[in-house]
Amino acid sequence: MNSHGQYEQQVVWTVVPTDIGPLLLAATGEGLVNVVFHATDEVRDKALDRLAGRLGTEPVEASGSPLLAEAIRQLEAYFAGERRDFDLPLDWSLISGFNRQVLRELASGVPFGAVVGYGDLAGRVGQPGAAQAVGVAMGSNPLPVIVPCHRVVERDGGIGGFGGGLETKRKLLALEGVLPEPLF
């Protein structure tokens, strides 16, 4: 409890090595709350500052935390080709409204090895003209990889944008068998 007699939310974090570079994982008692690509020291520090500001508590490094252990295990299995779906409690508190609605639909409705167009995803949430807004939702996804924004592509077959970089998106889509592995 804090000095006002309120329970403070604990936020724990760690950085894990993956095939697409280091990922910062952060969790609360509700579940995984944030995944951040390319978690170099500078990127990590900025992400942790943002989390502290958004959640009102200082994140604590805790690589052995039970709150993170299952997420780490499932990510390792995913990158090893042994897992296709994530079954983790998620804390959606960093996102709301239309963006949350779109990301929840993406998480539940676009399986491993499949892709969906921005406009198609907009239609699935009852906003068929909101393809650009879906793009904004993908860019604000606090849980990439787990909530698979890499599976959202352009209608004409283009790969689309990606907060983790296009090379990362290509690697994730190749891992899922959507794209061929690069030759070099």
* Active site residue ranges: 149
- The one-character DSSP state at 94 is T
* CA–CA separation, 144 and 158 (whole Å): 19
3-state helix, strand, coil in the chain (%, to 5): 40, 10, 50
- Residues 23 and 39: their CA atoms lie apart, in Å, by 5
Between strands 116-117 and 60-61, the pairing is unpaired
Residues 6+ apart with CB under 8 A from 106: 116, 121, 147, 148, 149, 151, 152
For residues 50 and 39, is the Cβ–Cβ distance under 8 A?
no
Vertex 71, ends 92 and 160: CA angle to 5°? 65
Hey, CA dihedral for 168, 169, 171, 172, is it positive or negative? positive
